[in-house]
Structure 1
């Protein structure tokens, strides 16, 4: 009896898989939608593609790379674009990831839109700069027990043009039965170092991409990534700045601070970095050296679980408690935050109490 049930379930699963495959093939090969135009940003670029594929895929095949980290399954919600014409109705997969405001502005998940007709879309201007890069792993450097700096020498294209604060999307390779995935990592390198890209990665337990990068990726191996993406960057104002980060959130701040030094940007700034214990700190000597090299800069590492009997003589409280000791009135400041949702939410709440306006808080939040 049990054997019959197992055979029946196996047959049902195989039949379902076969039907799904046939539907995909029918969509791609049997249903002929003919050539369709994708009009981007009111004629800035017009693509003519064969109908049937997803909007995300059609754009990627024409060297326009929209951020995506879930392989087109509609679960990351990174690939949002504004669809002003065509695209069909919003699907049940998209709906949970779109706010009322986004729905009113015709925002859609490009991976869930099938190109069956002419489509008019709008994408951020910086996405036209994004490219798919081939690179060689030049260095793997452990910065702490769970944070690594990954150095990449560019092969094709040989140069990258990015703004300090932006991120790329790294493509992992299959290993030990784990699928290839795409994950976002902020660039920690200097924009002036055009032939190289550096990332700061924190090991995520059971994380597919970080396990691959830490345990399987080797120096001299060739990999792929796309980018640059994002609008997290230093604003062109004279306002003093508060930088806040934790863990691998150091990456874009490290890029921005060194860019400020290189370009002699004279902006008063504080940098509050969160760690649990002293072993969570890295680039410590370099950051304290920046206090002498930047116009008016102070680095404040904050350790929340450092043993009381240690030799640490710095701050031992959470950043929201520490900040007012250094900045009693922050009403003239801008704030730049990168890290976990919990860190950013807590710090933004405190910054509001300290007088920082909501529209002067810029953050890159790790979900």
Structure 2
């Protein structure tokens, strides 16, 4: 049996299925409450039950005192509703709402996606979760004090593992290590989340996503979050790469377009190989978008990838009516001189 949860003061609501915790149901449907461990110890998800009743199938969690339980407080990560509920809870809407954490992690899986991109899945210690907004990134903390930053490709509701897409940068010390030496079960240290690149959910404008290379990673996170939340705004993804082989998760994007009525996908090759037998869009991805959307005054654009693409898009799109404040970007810069960069991926 399912139960409806109404949230004050936001007025949001969602449904909790039988056997599901309130927090799991909220995240699955795109609603974010503060949380840390998701195992009942830290107390970060503590909220007030205004109406209705909850239960704890595994017993009262250690992060909730007897006095708090008697006064109507509940830990959303462990609480299951016994009836429809009204909660008084703070929701996470901005990056500043989420604390930056420093955590160890283990490489759970390493997959070769194409000739120069690997996918890493990172596992945090038992009972730990990293809360973030779709589109944000983490830093790897290297032993010499340097940082290397990569955008998270998984959506916030799917946080059992952290998913990263890492491109091999020629001469890049860290990506050389990732490709040639890093093994599964290796323990690393990360810090995050970082960055202000995330979906502005209060808008109802059509969205254009422009991804370049592994800029697909944060765009993937945002799209999967939007789908989970049931956002019906028109969305059009343009993914610019050099050749067909660089579309490392092309079938995933095609699947979105096939099953989502409000979603379109256009891959763009700047230099297709003869063997690609390519009949799709060619050229620079920002130019394809500009040709197909001569009036951008009513849109929002989210872009992630090489700085030259992001900069070119800004000039092209504002010339066609896009207000600059509706151009949200994450430019992937290479780290220089060991300094921390402020973008989504480094070498």
TM-score, structure 1 length as denominator? Answer: 0.62
- Identify if the C-alpha distance between structure 1 residues 331 and 157 changes in structure 2 by more than 3 Å, giving closer, same or farther: same
Query: Over alpha carbons, which structure has the higher Rg?
Result: 1
Shift of 1:195: 2.6
Aligned counterpart for 1:292 among listed residues 233, 245, 258? 258
Trace 1:172-321 onto structure 2 (pairs within 5 A).
Answer: 172=142, 179=144, 181-236=146-201, 237-307=203-273, 310-321=276-287
Aligned counterpart for 2:114 among listed residues 131, 144, 148? 144
2:323 paired residue number: 357
Shift of 1:284: 0.7
Q: Is contact 1:133–1:157 with CA below 8 Å preserved after alignment? A: no
Q: Is contact 1:261–1:293 with CA below 8 Å preserved after alignment? A: no
Aligned CA-pair RMSD: 1.9
2:341 paired residue number: none
Q: Which whole-Å CA distance do the structure 2 matches of 1:309 and 1:211 have between them? A: 28
Structure 2 unaligned spans of 5+: 1-93, 334-347
SS state at 1:155 partner: coil
- Identify if the C-alpha distance between structure 1 residues 169 and 366 changes in structure 2 by more than 3 Å, giving closer, same or farther: same
Shift of 1:360: 0.4
Q: Which whole-Å CA distance do the structure 1 matches of 2:261 and 2:138 have between them? A: 30
Relative contact order higher in (CA < 8 Å, ≥ 6 apart): 2
- Identify if the C-alpha distance between structure 1 residues 232 and 310 changes in structure 2 by more than 3 Å, giving closer, same or farther: closer
- Identify if the C-alpha distance between structure 1 residues 306 and 340 changes in structure 2 by more than 3 Å, giving closer, same or farther: same
Q: Which whole-Å CA distance do the structure 2 matches of 1:167 and 1:356 have between them? A: 26
Q: Which whole-Å CA distance do the structure 2 matches of 1:308 and 1:352 have between them? A: 35
1:85 paired residue number: none
Shift of 1:156: 6.1
Shift of 1:336: 0.6
Matched, 1:158 2:128: yes
Q: Is contact 1:131–1:228 with CA below 8 Å preserved after alignment? A: yes
Q: Which whole-Å CA distance do the structure 2 matches of 1:284 and 1:310 have between them? A: 14
Shift of 1:239: 0.6
Q: Which whole-Å CA distance do the structure 2 matches of 1:204 and 1:290 have between them? A: 29
Q: Which whole-Å CA distance do the structure 2 matches of 1:125 and 1:342 have between them? A: 26
Q: Which whole-Å CA distance do the structure 1 matches of 2:252 and 2:282 have between them? A: 21
Provide, for residues 125-160 of structure 1, a one-character-per-residue CA deviation record: whole Å limited to 9, x for no partner: 728611111111011111111111110011166111
Structure 1 unaligned spans of 5+: 1-123, 174-178
Provide, for residues 42-72 of structure 1, a one-character-per-residue CA deviation record: whole Å limited to 9, x for no partner: xxxxxxxxxxxxxxxxxxxxxxxxxxxxxxx
- Identify if the C-alpha distance between structure 1 residues 156 and 212 changes in structure 2 by more than 3 Å, giving closer, same or farther: farther
Q: Is contact 1:127–1:229 with CA below 8 Å preserved after alignment? A: no
SS state at 2:124 partner: strand
- Identify if the C-alpha distance between structure 1 residues 246 and 280 changes in structure 2 by more than 3 Å, giving closer, same or farther: same
TM-score, structure 2 length as denominator? Answer: 0.65
Shift of 1:162: 0.7
1:168 paired residue number: 138
Shift of 1:321: 2.3
More helix by share: 1
Q: Which whole-Å CA distance do the structure 1 matches of 2:307 and 2:161 have between them? A: 29
Shift of 1:320: 2.6
Shift of 1:245: 1.2
